[in-house]
């Protein structure tokens, strides 16, 4: 048990921590204050972030970084297969994608691509461990719970529209395999549940999460709250114990009441969209997630993630039938993503909305892990492909993958970094690690790179040790010229 | 403006030059003025007049230029402030003096006395300002740095004392050498470690180790033993404060005494003591059991608290009434609300020791006590039924061990021994959590063991020191690795912030004075550590646990935060007495609870603090705090009063293994088993009954989401809530020979989600023989609607597939799924797998040790209570039940509600309000809303 407001005691903003350090007379703790710059609100190029999460490991050579196309024929050698789709051009000169991504190819003049993302080297691959790392910037396990990037943003910037929760995570259910690991990073960690994700597994049902309970009319909902308030007033209890404890409880109930009673809840209502718009987006739950993300971004969402959903061996987690399944996944994501970018652009919201598409790592037909650090194999891939189900990228590859970005100050048409054209298709130019990705997002939002809190006596930064640096080139500010 | 800044800067820099004029002129004026006392030397008057005039003008100018200098060149600090104020005051007084002199000369004032006093004041102010100015300026350069009155925790008194002592002697004794060195290292710790330590090695110089100090930095050696003047370190700390090379840094220099001590240390050969320098306050390891003060109080805790109140000049606050006490006692010992009968009889009881008797009887309620305190221990020992790591075998529960330890009130020393030197049942604690793949050095499981033992059992933070030397305690990286090595099969290599240091750890416990833990293998080391840990000399272990129990029962610890046991307790005697008493009781946790709860201190009314920070630092005990019901208490209270919140447990204390499996149609996508899609599925199982008389035949069924059950073609039952176990007598449907159970199951929803049939049938014959038919993988299923009489025995199901066992993980063990008579009827929340409802109410995900739950109400929590479908459906079910039970009588509903939730009658106003909502014939919705409004009340949600 602990007293109210304990969290504030544990977690102190850096400035506060350095102040209190002198008050509590712990000399070396002032180390924190004296060796870091004070947190300040920086200039920003974005207010809202949409993360389009390609869960399960999307092969870069099959999507946004195509290599030599080797069509399927019985007896083809696995080692010859680099891409199972032909290239297509995009609207950006010299930039090619893989077939099946024509719609996204059409909006690349509004965005940028990083082609040299390197995942962490975590040994024997576990998807959720890499996903945890991607979303928190910390490798699990950690001695304190690391917050999701959405929780950091919610904590630092708060809601943009007071009735829209600042961290919304769509598309992922927690009844699947590795559910506990998924829950572990869908969390505000030590920042406290207040900043945790507002979960919407099924975007079509998003409205329910922000309305009075099912089957309860607004009138009844209001009467119920009024009854509670009157009973609270009449109960003599309000005179006992510390007021601040009771107030915190009453206040949270009031906030919740106001949110659920708010007309703005219709933002969550997809039926408000014209049918043709709904149909354009509706390739499934992911597509509808993009539609809801659009509505949220246009109405004051802060951090919104839409996942294709991780479920072991499904989605982008192709352990076999890689070609066919990559084709299906592209059908799922291509149209709604492109439409999202177009709609945000047309409504003028793309300027201040950073849209990011990423995956925990890539895939390859041959290599498990990365060059020099190959790890325990998990896939049965024959040298000679006699059955089409072995045609595709089935192993987990951590040395190069693609990240797409649009809006929020990102330089349009930029291609950053590259991977080798021959196997291993590793990042060979401007390699990017997760710390840089996070810091680039924080940079766009104007969150100081050394933002941290003191938890259990230790500083905990947005990126480990506060060392991460944004990729300024993404924002048209090459290093040294800013 | 920017271009003219140099002018201001230049004028500003004239300030020091200019200040000498007023100093000279005004001082000389005063001197000459003194010569004129008594009406002598009138000839000096003219000269004095001019001097005061010029002195005043230059005083005003120098004040102005000084102000420019300060603003142009960023001076700040109290010294500068004071200098500025005095300078301005000097100028003002000079003007006044001049005016007075002129007034006197013109005959407006009768005599020179006022002017003379004013001149004297001006010169005194001038002297003071000049003195501060001299302090500010050092040498020919101007100061450029910030002065702050920096008093760190370094205790100067001790240093001064030592300095005085050493100055008296020529040769230092060995003890003095040690003290001198430790003092010097303390000075280095407080002033230099920030930049020159293992953690941060500016200029390659490390000052927190002997090697580092004598190795020096990138510019070579810094300490030449015996020769301060040739030592770079000494040179740098003795430079002028504004020198570019001065250390610790420009503008922040060491105190004279500190410099002198360092000089003295180098001069005396720079001896290095083997002792560790303790930078941070550390609690004594051993307990000091205080003698209880003379007092009229009978209870030992109250004798101490009485003494404490005396010291605080406080009176004892009032005790709570019986009704409040009984609620507190129930919730604190068994985690449940007191039944109305218990409250009534307790209030009526006239025995003087009835409170103590109640505490005893509740502590004797083994399972309920265990099921309440289990949550505290699960948090503390990071034990849970689900969580990361389990999936790849990298984690192990200790639930069974823990449950039985609490149930049998195992001695705490024994528990600690079994956690550290574990059996397979308790090894989960030190095994930690291992995710698949490689793990960074500071999170390897051995390090987790050290961290968790440190935090949970000893209240010391090892986490900090597992990456680098701690900057919140005296722990070093080496100590952490030494501690972790106890649990390691092989010698660990030290890593600083994940970079290997090429140095191997040496096995050792954090408190070597307790005994040696070195041994050839892990097994022996664990044995030794377990013995060392529980020694009575290890006061830390016992202080830590009694402090946690105190905090749990009183809302705030005697030391806070609970994991930082080096912090000051608000009553040291109380803490050490409780810990000693706990040891004397045979480490009896129930005794500890009783000790605290029988005291008046526990029975005081909830204390009122105005601001949250009043219960942090400078806390003064004034009675227990209000405590919010924990997630488990809230959930169990709702289950008790209304309707079961949870129906299924994850851990079954009875130890019975379920025989029936949760089955469903096997669904495959891309050759993989996946979650079932929504829709109807059909299940069949045939079995043979011998030609005997059936005595009794019962079936249990639970299907997620809905079912229709057929036996031998006849419809037997239907249901649409997996939590409600169907219990059916099926004897009349059965016949000798081949029989058939058929189930039509429905998976609802719009996306694939868990679904499952759980079925068990027990047929007892008159000869005592029994047969059982359970759902398992011998059942068959189909996704297509079968043509023909598929529920009949003779239907051909050869084309049907075999079902898949979906396991119990999504459902847990239904408490009602038993052929025996229903037991309590609801699942205690402490035995339930982590659930979004409990999580929202603050049950932590036990990925890390959690020793204090978040008490702050949050929006997500409120949302869960306000529109959470889960919670609202519980209340809805309850409303239906109550309307049936009380025949729709509003009055009865209201009384029953208030007694069972708040333990009292509603007031007239409350009753009228509620009855007006319920009306004559209460509708389900109204009853549900009344329930909701009551359980949300602070009066319900707080332990008063």
- Transcribe B367-427 into DSSP letters: HHHHHHHHHHHHHHHT--SS-TTGGGT-----HHHHHHHHHTT--HHHHHHHHHS--TTTT
Q: Which residue has the tokens 């729709």?
A: B888
Please give the pLDDT value at position B876: 94
For chain A, residues classed under CATH 3.40.720 are 47-210+265-355+365-396
Q: How far is Cα of residue B381 from the mean position of the Cα atoms in its chain?
A: 14
- Beta carbons of A343 and A370 less than 8 angstroms apart: no
Kindly state the average pLDDT of the residues B257-268: 87
**CB-CB: which of B461, B860, B937 is closest to A235?**
B937
Phi, psi torsion values for B745, nearest 5 degrees? -110, 150
Which residues of chain B does A155 touch, with a Cβ-Cβ cutoff of 8 Å? none
Q: How confident is the model at residue B153 (pLDDT cuts 50, 70, 90)?
A: very low
**β-strands B804-805, B663-664 pairing:** antiparallel
Q: Is the pTM of this model over 0.90?
A: no
**β-strands B499-504, B493-496 pairing:** antiparallel
CA distance B396 to chain A (A): 14
Pairs of CB atoms within 8 A across A/B: 321
Distance CA B753, CA B677 (A): 6
Q: How confident is the model at residue B10 (pLDDT cuts 50, 70, 90)?
A: low
Distance CA A59, CA A49 (A): 24
Distance CA B772, CA B699 (A): 10
**CB-CB: which of A123, A126, A314 is closest to B674?**
A314
Q: Which of A442, A438, A478 is nearest to A135 (CA)?
A: A438
Please give the pLDDT value at position A109: 97
Which residues of chain A does B868 touch, with a Cβ-Cβ cutoff of 8 Å? 213
Q: Above 50 in pLDDT, residue B257?
A: yes
Contact A372/B at CB under 8 A: no
Q: Above 80 in pLDDT, residue B404?
A: yes
* Tokens found for residue A112: 């940028």
**CB-CB: which of B435, B464, B606 is closest to A457?**
B464
Residue A182: closest CA among chain B residues belongs to which residue?
B388
Of the two residues B421 and B469, the one the predictor is more confident about is: B421
Q: Which residues contact A317 (CB under 8 A, 6 or more apart)?
A: A55, A56, A57, A127, A310, A311
How many alpha carbons lie under 13 Å from residue A205 in its C-beta half-sphere?
13
CA distance A223 to chain B (A): 9
Please give the pLDDT value at position B264: 87
Q: How confident is the model at residue A307 (pLDDT cuts 50, 70, 90)?
A: very high
Give me the residues of A, 409-448, that contact B with CB < 8 A: none
Which of A142, A241, A372 to mutate to test binding with chain B, by most B CBs within 10 Å of its CB?
A241
Q: Which of B596, B564, B75 is nearest to B305 (CA)?
A: B596
**β-strands A303-307, A384-385 pairing:** unpaired
Q: Above 90 in pLDDT, residue A309?
A: yes
Phi, psi torsion values for B426, nearest 5 degrees? -115, 10
Contact A467/B at CB under 8 A: no
Q: Above 50 in pLDDT, residue B590?
A: yes
Which residues of chain B does A129 touch, with a Cβ-Cβ cutoff of 8 Å? 435-437
Q: Above 70 in pLDDT, residue B135?
A: no
Strand partners, A169: A199, A305
Q: Above 50 in pLDDT, residue B760?
A: yes
Q: Above 80 in pLDDT, residue B288?
A: yes
**A82-86, B133-137, B154-158, B465-469: range with highest mean pLDDT:** A82-86
Q: Helices in B20-154 by DSSP H: which ranges?
A: 20-35, 45-72, 78-105, 113-136
Kindly state the average pLDDT of the residues B687-716: 94
Ranges A108-122, A260-274, B40-54: which has the least confidence: B40-54
Contact A251/B at CB under 8 A: yes
Please give the pLDDT value at position A17: 29
**CB-CB: which of B471, B753, B932 is closest to A175?**
B753
The pLDDT tens digits of the residues spanning A419-468 come to: 999 999 999 999 999 999 999 999 999 999 999 998 887 889 999 988 89
Neighbours of B805 (CB within 10 A): 15
Please give the pLDDT value at position B374: 98
Kindly state the average pLDDT of the residues B129-146: 53
Distance CA B112, CA B42 (A): 12
Phi, psi torsion values for B735, nearest 5 degrees? -150, 160
Cβ contact (<8 Å) for B937 and A240? no
Cβ contact (<8 Å) for B939 and A3? no
Cβ contact (<8 Å) for A27 and B152? yes
Q: Which of B52, B95, B257, B272 is nearest to B163 (CA)?
A: B257
Distance CA A190, CA A180 (A): 17
**CB-CB: which of B194, B451, B615 is closest to A3?**
B615
Distance CA A285, CA A278 (A): 12
Which residues of chain A does B942 touch, with a Cβ-Cβ cutoff of 8 Å? 237, 241, 245-246, 249
CA distance A342 to chain B (A): 29
Q: Above 80 in pLDDT, residue B71?
A: no
Which residues of chain A does B432 touch, with a Cβ-Cβ cutoff of 8 Å? 141
CA distance A102 to chain B (A): 26
Q: How confident is the model at residue B713 (pLDDT cuts 50, 70, 90)?
A: very high
Q: Which of A14, A45, A41 is nearest to A441 (CA)?
A: A45
- Beta carbons of B898 and A209 less than 8 angstroms apart: no
Ranges A215-224, A317-326, B28-37, B911-920: which has the least confidence: B28-37
The pLDDT tens digits of the residues spanning B487-537 come to: 998 888 888 877 888 888 999 999 999 999 999 999 999 999 999 999 999
Q: Above 60 in pLDDT, residue B147?
A: no
Ranges A141-145, B516-520, B817-821: which has the least confidence: B817-821
Kindly state the average pLDDT of the residues B844-853: 92
Distance CA B86, CA B92 (A): 10
Contact A378/B at CB under 8 A: no
Phi, psi torsion values for A262, nearest 5 degrees? -85, 140
Kindly state the average pLDDT of the residues A401-413: 97
Q: How confident is the model at residue B160 (pLDDT cuts 50, 70, 90)?
A: confident
Peptide bond preceding B845: is omega within 30 degrees of 0, i.e. cis? Answer: no
Cβ contact (<8 Å) for A8 and B669? no
Ranges B610-614, B703-707, B843-847: which has the least confidence: B610-614
Of the two residues B22 and B239, the one the predictor is more confident about is: B239
Phi, psi torsion values for B106, nearest 5 degrees? -80, 0
- Beta carbons of B266 and B214 less than 8 angstroms apart: no
Ranges A27-31, A400-404, B660-664: which has the least confidence: A27-31
Q: How confident is the model at residue B181 (pLDDT cuts 50, 70, 90)?
A: confident
- Collapse the DSSP code of B359 into the 3-class scheme (helix H, G, I; strand E, B; otherwise coil) and give the result: helix
Which residues of chain A does B613 touch, with a Cβ-Cβ cutoff of 8 Å? 5
Which residues of chain A does B190 touch, with a Cβ-Cβ cutoff of 8 Å? 27-28
Kindly state the average pLDDT of the residues A114-132: 95
- Beta carbons of B823 and B816 less than 8 angstroms apart: no
Ranges A188-192, A293-297, B853-857: which has the least confidence: B853-857
Q: Above 70 in pLDDT, residue B57?
A: yes
Interface predicted TM-score of the whole assembly (ipTM), two decimals? 0.86
Which of A231, A284, A435, A459 to mutate to test binding with chain B, by most B CBs within 10 Å of its CB?
A231
Task: Count how many residues are written for chain B.
Answer: 944
Please give the pLDDT value at position B140: 29
**CB-CB: which of B443, B917, B930 is closest to A141?**
B443
Q: Above 50 in pLDDT, residue A30?
A: no
CA distance B322 to chain A (A): 16
Contact A121/B at CB under 8 A: yes
Contact A271/B at CB under 8 A: no
Neighbours of A312 (CB within 10 A): 18
The pLDDT tens digits of the residues spanning A259-272 come to: 888 888 889 999 99
Instruction: Report CA Rg, chain A.
Output: 24
Q: How confident is the model at residue A27 (pLDDT cuts 50, 70, 90)?
A: very low
Q: Above 60 in pLDDT, residue B152?
A: no
Distance CA A173, CA A311 (A): 9
CA distance A199 to chain B (A): 11
**A175-179, A187-191, B95-99, B440-444: range with highest mean pLDDT:** A187-191
Calculate the alpha carbon distances from B479 to B463, B470, B501, B509, B671 in Å: 12, 10, 15, 7, 52
Ranges B107-111, B364-368, B938-942: which has the least confidence: B107-111
Of the two residues B479 and B160, the one the predictor is more confident about is: B479
Which residues of chain A does B442 touch, with a Cβ-Cβ cutoff of 8 Å? 143
Distance CA B22, CA B861 (A): 70
- Beta carbons of A160 and B827 less than 8 angstroms apart: no
How many alpha carbons lie under 13 Å from residue B326 in its C-beta half-sphere?
23
Kindly state the average pLDDT of the residues B178-202: 80
Q: Which of A178, A63, A165 is nearest to A132 (CA)?
A: A178
Distance CA B69, CA A476 (A): 41
Q: Above 50 in pLDDT, residue B122?
A: yes
Which residues of chain A does B152 touch, with a Cβ-Cβ cutoff of 8 Å? 25, 27, 30
Q: Which residues contact B701 (CB under 8 A, 6 or more apart)?
A: B707, B709, B717, B719, B725, B726, B728, B743, B757, B758, B759, B760
Sign of CA dihedral B603, B607, B612, B618: negative
Residue A126: closest CA among chain B residues belongs to which residue?
B436
Instruction: Report CA Rg, chain B.
Output: 40
Which residues of chain B does A388 touch, with a Cβ-Cβ cutoff of 8 Å? none
Which residues of chain A does B852 touch, with a Cβ-Cβ cutoff of 8 Å? 1-2, 6
Ranges A451-455, B143-147, B274-278, B682-686: which has the least confidence: B143-147
Cβ contact (<8 Å) for A140 and B753? no
Q: How confident is the model at residue B925 (pLDDT cuts 50, 70, 90)?
A: very high
Q: Which residues contact B787 (CB under 8 A, 6 or more apart)?
A: none
Please give the pLDDT value at position B466: 80
DSSP tally for chain B: helices H, then strands E: 32, 20
Please give the pLDDT value at position A243: 80
Q: Above 50 in pLDDT, residue A6?
A: no
Sign of CA dihedral B492, B497, B501, B503: negative
Of the two residues B581 and B10, the one the predictor is more confident about is: B581
Cβ contact (<8 Å) for B869 and A214? yes
**CB-CB: which of A143, A193, A242 is closest to B451?**
A143
Distance CA B694, CA A317 (A): 54
Which of B319, B678, B854 to mutate to test binding with chain A, by most A CBs within 10 Å of its CB?
B854
Residue A252: closest CA among chain B residues belongs to which residue?
B859
Cβ contact (<8 Å) for A241 and B934? no
Phi, psi torsion values for A15, nearest 5 degrees? -60, -45
Kindly state the average pLDDT of the residues A322-350: 97
Cβ contact (<8 Å) for B609 and A244? yes
Q: Above 70 in pLDDT, residue A18?
A: no
CATH number of A47-210+265-355+365-396: 3.40.720
Please give the pLDDT value at position B36: 84
How many alpha carbons lie under 13 Å from residue B618 in its C-beta half-sphere?
7
CA distance A162 to chain B (A): 12
CA distance A249 to chain B (A): 5
Q: Above 50 in pLDDT, residue A3?
A: no
**β-strands B627-628, B499-504 pairing:** unpaired
Residue B669: closest CA among chain A residues belongs to which residue?
A314
Q: How confident is the model at residue B4 (pLDDT cuts 50, 70, 90)?
A: low
Mean pLDDT across chain B, nearest whole number? Answer: 88
**CB-CB: which of A126, A230, A250 is closest to B913?**
A230
Cβ contact (<8 Å) for B435 and A140? yes
Residue B943: closest CA among chain A residues belongs to which residue?
A241
């Amino acid at each position: 048990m602990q007293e109210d407001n304990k969290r504030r005691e544990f977690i102190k903003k850096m400035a506060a921590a350095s102040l209190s350090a002198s008050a509590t007379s712990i000399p070396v703790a002032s180390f924190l204050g004296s060796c870091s710059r004070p947190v300040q609100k920086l200039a920003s190029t974005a207010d809202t972030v949409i993360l389009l999460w390609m869960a399960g490991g999307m092969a870069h050579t099959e999507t946004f970084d195509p290599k030599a196309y080797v069509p399927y024929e019985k007896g083809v050698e696995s080692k010859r297969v680099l891409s199972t789709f032909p290239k297509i051009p995009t609207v950006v000169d010299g930039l090619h994608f893989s077939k099946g991504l024509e719609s996204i190819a059409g909006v690349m003049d509004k965005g940028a691509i990083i082609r040299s993302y390197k995942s962490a080297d975590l040994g024997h691959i576990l998807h959720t461990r890499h996903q945890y790392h991607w979303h928190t910037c910390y490798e699990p396990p950690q001695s304190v719970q690391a917050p999701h990037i959405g929780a950091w943003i919610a904590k630092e910037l708060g809601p943009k529209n007071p009735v829209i929760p600042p961290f919304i995570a769509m598309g992922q259910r927690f009844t699947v395999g590795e559910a506990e690991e998924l829950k572990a990073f869908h969390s505000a960690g030590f920042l406290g549940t207040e900043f945790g994700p507002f979960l919407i597994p099924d975007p079509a049902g998003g409205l329910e999460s922000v309305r009075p309970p099912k089957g309860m009319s607004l009138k009844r909902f209001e009467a119920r709250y009024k009854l509670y308030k009157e009973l609270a007033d009449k109960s003599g209890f309000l005179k006992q114990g510390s007021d601040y404890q009771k107030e915190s409880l009453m206040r949270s109930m009031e906030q919740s009441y106001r949110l659920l009673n708010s007309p703005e809840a219709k933002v969550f209502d997809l039926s408000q969209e014209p049918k043709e718009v709904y149909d354009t987006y509706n390739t499934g739950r992911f597509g509808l997630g993009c539609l809801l993300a659009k509505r949220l971004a246009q109405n004051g969402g802060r951090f919104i993630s839409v996942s294709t959903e991780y479920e072991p061996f499904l989605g982008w987690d192709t352990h076999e039938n890689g070609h066919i399944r990559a084709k299906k996944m592209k059908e799922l994501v291509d149209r709604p993503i492109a439409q999202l970018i177009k709609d945000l652009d047309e409504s003028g919201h793309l300027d201040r909305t950073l849209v990011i598409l990423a995956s925990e790592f890539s895939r390859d037909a041959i290599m498990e892990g990365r060059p020099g650090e190959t790890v325990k194999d998990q896939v049965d891939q024959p040298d000679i492909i006699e059955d089409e189900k072995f045609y595709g990228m089935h192993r987990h590859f951590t040395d190069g993958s693609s990240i797409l970005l649009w809006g929020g100050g990102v330089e349009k048409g930029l291609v950053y970094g590259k991977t080798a054209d021959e196997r291993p298709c590793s990042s060979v130019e401007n390699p990017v690690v997760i710390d840089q990705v996070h810091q680039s997002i924080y940079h766009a939002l104007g969150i100081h790179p050394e933002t941290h809190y003191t938890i259990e006596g230790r500083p905990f930064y947005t990126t480990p040790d506060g060392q991460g640096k944004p990729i300024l080139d993404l924002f048209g500010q090459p290093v040294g010229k800013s | 403006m920017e271009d003219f800044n140099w002018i201001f800067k230049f004028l500003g820099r004239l300030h020091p030059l200019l200040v000498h004029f007023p100093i000279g002129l005004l001082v000389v004026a005063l001197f000459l003025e003194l010569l004129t006392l008594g009406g002598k030397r009138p000839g000096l008057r003219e000269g004095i007049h001019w001097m005061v005039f010029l002195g005043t003008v230059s005083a005003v100018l120098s004040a102005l230029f000084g102000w420019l200098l300060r603003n142009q060149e960023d001076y700040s600090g109290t010294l500068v402030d004071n200098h500025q104020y005095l300078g301005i005051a000097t100028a003002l007084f000079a003007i006044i003096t001049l005016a007075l002199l002129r007034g006197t000369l013109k005959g407006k004032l009768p005599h020179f006395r006022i002017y003379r006093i004013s001149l004297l004041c001006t010169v005194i102010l001038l002297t003071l300002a000049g003195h501060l100015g001299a302090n500010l300026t050092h040498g020919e350069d101007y100061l450029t740095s910030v002065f702050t009155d920096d008093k760190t925790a370094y205790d100067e008194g001790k240093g001064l004392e030592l300095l005085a002592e050493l100055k008296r002697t020529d040769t230092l004794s060995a003890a003095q050498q040690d003290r001198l060195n430790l003092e010097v290292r303390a000075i280095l710790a407080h002033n230099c470690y920030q930049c020159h330590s293992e953690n941060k090695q500016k200029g390659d110089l490390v000052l927190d180790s002997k090697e580092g100090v004598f190795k020096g930095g990138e510019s070579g050696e810094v300490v030449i033993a015996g020769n301060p003047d040739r030592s770079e370190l000494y040179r740098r700390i003795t430079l002028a404060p504004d020198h570019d090379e001065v250390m610790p840094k420009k503008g922040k220099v060491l105190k004279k005494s500190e410099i002198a001590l360092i000089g003295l240390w180098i001069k005396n050969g720079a001896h290095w003591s083997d002792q560790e320098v303790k930078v941070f306050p550390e609690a004594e390891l051993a307990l000091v059991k205080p003698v209880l003060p003379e007092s009229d109080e009978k209870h030992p805790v109250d004798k101490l608290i009485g003494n404490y109140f005396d010291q605080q000049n406080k009176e004892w606050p009032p005790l709570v009434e019986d009704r409040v006490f009984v609620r507190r006692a129930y919730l604190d010992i068994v985690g449940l609300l007191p039944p109305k009968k218990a409250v009534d009889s307790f209030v009526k009881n006239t025995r003087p020791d009835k409170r103590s008797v109640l505490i005893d009887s509740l502590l004797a309620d083994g399972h309920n006590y265990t099921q309440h305190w289990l949550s505290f221990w699960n948090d503390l020992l990071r034990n849970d039924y689900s969580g990361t790591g389990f999936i790849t075998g990298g984690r192990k529960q200790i639930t069974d061990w823990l449950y039985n330890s609490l149930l049998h009130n195992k001695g705490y020393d024994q528990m600690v021994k079994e956690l550290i030197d574990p059996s397979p049942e308790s090894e989960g604690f030190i095994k930690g959590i291992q995710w698949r793949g490689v793990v960074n050095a500071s999170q390897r499981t051995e390090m987790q063991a050290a961290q968790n033992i440190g935090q949970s059992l000893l209240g010391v933070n090892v986490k900090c020191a597992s990456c680098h030397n701690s900057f919140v305690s005296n722990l070093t990286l080496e100590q952490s690795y030494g501690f972790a090595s106890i649990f390691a099969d092989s010698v660990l290599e030290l890593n600083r912030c994940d970079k290997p240091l090429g140095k191997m750890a040496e096995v050792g416990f954090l408190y070597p004075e307790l005994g040696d833990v070195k041994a050839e293998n892990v097994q022996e080391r664990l044995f030794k550590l377990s013995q060392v840990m529980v020694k009575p000399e290890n006061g830390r272990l016992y202080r830590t646990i009694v402090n946690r129990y105190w905090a749990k029962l009183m809302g705030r610890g005697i030391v806070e935060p609970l994991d930082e046991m080096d912090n000051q307790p608000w009553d040291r005697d109380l803490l050490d007495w409780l810990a000693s008493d706990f040891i004397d009781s045979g480490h009896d946790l129930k005794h500890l609870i009783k000790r605290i709860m029988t005291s008046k201190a526990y029975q005081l009314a909830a204390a009122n603090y105005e601001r949250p920070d009043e219960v942090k630092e400078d806390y003064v005990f004034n009675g227990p705090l209000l405590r919010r019901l924990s997630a488990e208490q809230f959930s169990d209270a709702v289950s008790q009063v209304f309707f079961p919140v949870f129906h299924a447990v994850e851990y079954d204390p009875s130890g019975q293994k379920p025989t029936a499996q949760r089955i469903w149609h096997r669904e495959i996508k891309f050759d993989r088993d996946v979650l079932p899609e929504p829709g109807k599925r059909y299940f069949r199982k045939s079995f043979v009954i011998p030609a005997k008389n059936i005595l009794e035949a019962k079936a249990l069924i639970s299907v997620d989401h809905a079912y229709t059950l057929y036996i031998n073609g006849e419809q037997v039952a239907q249901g649409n809530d997996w939590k409600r176990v169907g219990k059916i007598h099926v004897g009349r449907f059965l016949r000798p020979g081949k029989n058939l159970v058929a189930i039509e199951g429905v998976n609802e929803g719009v996306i694939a989600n868990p679904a499952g049939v759980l079925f068990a049938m027990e047929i007892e014959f008159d000869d005592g023989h029994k047969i059982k038919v359970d759902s398992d993988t011998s059942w068959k299923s189909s996704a297509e609607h079968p043509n023909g009489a598929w529920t009949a025995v003779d239907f051909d199901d050869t084309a049907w597939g075999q079902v898949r066992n979906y396991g119990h993980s999504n459902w847990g063990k239904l408490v009602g799924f038993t052929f025996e008579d229903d037991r309590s009827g609801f699942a205690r929340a402490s035995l339930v797998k982590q659930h979004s409802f409990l999580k929202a109410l603050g049950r932590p995900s036990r990925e890390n040790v959690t020793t204090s739950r978040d008490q702050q109400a949050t929006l997500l929590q409120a949302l869960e209570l306000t529109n959470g479908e889960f919670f609202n459906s519980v209340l809805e079910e309850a409303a239906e039940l109550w309307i049936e039970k009380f025949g729709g009588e509003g009055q009865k509903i209201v009384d029953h509600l208030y007694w069972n939730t708040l333990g009292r009658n509603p007031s007239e106003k409350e009753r009228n309000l509620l009855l007006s909502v319920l009306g004559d014939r209460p509708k389900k919705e109204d009853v549900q809303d009344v329930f909701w409004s009551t359980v949300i009340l602070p009066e319900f949600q707080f332990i008063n």
